[in-house]
């Protein structure tokens, strides 16, 4: 059981380093998907990228301030 | 067209560089096992780890063909995005001097000290085999995921695999020739480049998975690469401690 928990932790660690960034990315992706369903537009891709870039920039600046 | 130039070249490059980083990390531990516990357990653990990874690929590869492309793009793209942003975040913080760089020499010294002090060496040393097996499987799983993520969603599994095989050959050849960790490899710069590429691919595939029609089709992936590279450069500059702040801290 401990080995399984350790394996799961290792696997989760491949994708999640800072939980708040991972959660924010998933929420943003969901919002853009909803936006695309409600009003498909040519700029959805740009909105998706700009949001992700802003999340990364904010997260790294916050991490830098904490240390 | 999925296998077009704008996707094929970055895919092979991403697979090669990402695999290079992972293989260098695995080589450090396998060398430490070889030096402290003997080459037989080091090579046996490595071979068993590679066998398990090959089995995984043989099982997962055909199974992926059964998954509808849209679902595959959404799931793999989202995981790739999380994976890529994790690498990019860490590489940005390391490049800005916020967290220390990964040091293969230090990792080798620490692993050698831990393994050298642990128990007696036998003909078939379980600790040595297990240590080599674990690192090969852990680092190899990342390589397998990257290959599937950058290759399968875009129909480029073979070119991506060739990139990984080239990295494996390069690392094994250098490791066999030098018999010491590859500390000169600029690991953080590689992680930064790979983080940019994987984040761009992840955004592209996840976007397609949620129904986004990218302007310029495949060429949008290259625009995303440029966008994430600019974001990383801006973030590094923004995170660097300012001289005034450093003076206040007495640095």
Structure tokens, B17: 């560089």
Grade residue A2 by pLDDT with cuts at 50, 70 and 90. low
Structure tokens, B27: 């080589």
Give the list of residues 6+ apart from residue B136 with CB closer than 8 angstroms, or none. Answer: B26, B30, B45, B46, B48, B49, B50, B53
Grade residue B1 by pLDDT with cuts at 50, 70 and 90. very low
Given this model, what pLDDT does residue B216 score?
82
Percentage above 90 pLDDT, chain B: 25
Q: A57, B238: Cβ pair inside 8 Å? A: yes
Given this model, what pLDDT does residue B245 score?
55
| Residues of chain A contacting residue B229, judged by C-beta atoms under 8 Å apart | none
pLDDT, tens digit, 9 for 90 and up, residues B18-70: 889 889 889 988 988 888 888 888 899 999 999 998 888 788 777 777 778 78
Given this model, what pLDDT does residue B151 score?
78
φ and ψ at B115, to 5 degrees?
-75, -35
Mean per-residue pLDDT for A31-39?
Answer: 87
Q: A48, B207: Cβ pair inside 8 Å? A: yes
H helical segments located in B4-118 = 5-37, 39-65, 69-95, 104-116
pLDDT, tens digit, 9 for 90 and up, residues B72-128: 888 888 999 999 999 999 999 999 998 888 777 888 888 888 877 666 556 668 888
Q: Is B18 exposed, middle or buried (0-12, 13-18, 19+ CB in 10 A)?
A: buried
Kindly report whether the global pTM for this prediction surpasses the value 0.95.
Answer: no
pLDDT, tens digit, 9 for 90 and up, residues A21-34: 999 999 999 999 99
| Residues of chain A contacting residue B147, judged by C-beta atoms under 8 Å apart | none
First vs last C-alpha separation in chain A: 35
Given this model, what pLDDT does residue B121 score?
59
Measured between CB atoms, which of A29, A53, A56 is closest to B89?
A56
Residue B75 CB coordination number (10 Å): 16
Return the higher-pLDDT residue of B2 and B161: B161
């Amino acid at each position: 059981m401990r080995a399984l928990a350790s394996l799961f932790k290792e696997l989760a660690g491949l994708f999640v380093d800072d939980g708040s960034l991972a959660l924010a990315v998933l929420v943003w992706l969901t919002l853009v998907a909803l936006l695309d369903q409600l009003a498909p537009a040519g700029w959805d891709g740009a909105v998706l990228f700009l949001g992700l870039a802003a999340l990364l920039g904010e997260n790294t600046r916050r991490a830098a301030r904490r240390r | 067209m999925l296998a077009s130039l704008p996707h094929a070249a970055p895919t092979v490059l991403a697979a090669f560089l990402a695999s290079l980083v992972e293989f260098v990390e695995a080589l450090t531990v396998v060398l430490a096992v070889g030096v402290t516990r003997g080459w037989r357990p080091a090579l046996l653990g490595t071979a068993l780890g590679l066998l398990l990874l090959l089995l995984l690929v043989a099982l997962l590869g055909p199974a992926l063909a059964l998954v509808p492309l849209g679902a595959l793009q959404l799931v793999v793209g989202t995981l790739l995005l999380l994976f890529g942003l994790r690498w990019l975040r860490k590489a940005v913080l390391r490049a800005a001097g916020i967290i220390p760089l990964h040091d293969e020499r230090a990792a080798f010294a620490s692993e050698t000290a831990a393994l050298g002090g642990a128990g007696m060496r036998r003909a078939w040393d379980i600790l040595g085999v297990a240590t080599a097996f674990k690192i090969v499987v852990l680092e190899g799983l990342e390589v397998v995921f990257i290959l599937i993520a950058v290759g399968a969603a875009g129909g480029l599994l073979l070119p991506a695999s060739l990139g990984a095989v080239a990295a494996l050959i390069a690392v094994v050849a250098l490791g066999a020739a030098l018999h010491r960790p590859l500390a000169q490899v600029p690991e953080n710069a590689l992680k930064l480049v790979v983080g940019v590429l994987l984040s761009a691919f992840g955004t592209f595939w996840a976007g397609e998975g949620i129904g986004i029609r990218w302007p310029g089709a495949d060429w949008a992936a290259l625009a995303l690469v440029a966008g994430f590279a600019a974001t990383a450069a801006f973030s590094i500059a923004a995170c660097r401690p300012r001289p005034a702040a450093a003076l206040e801290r007495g640095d």
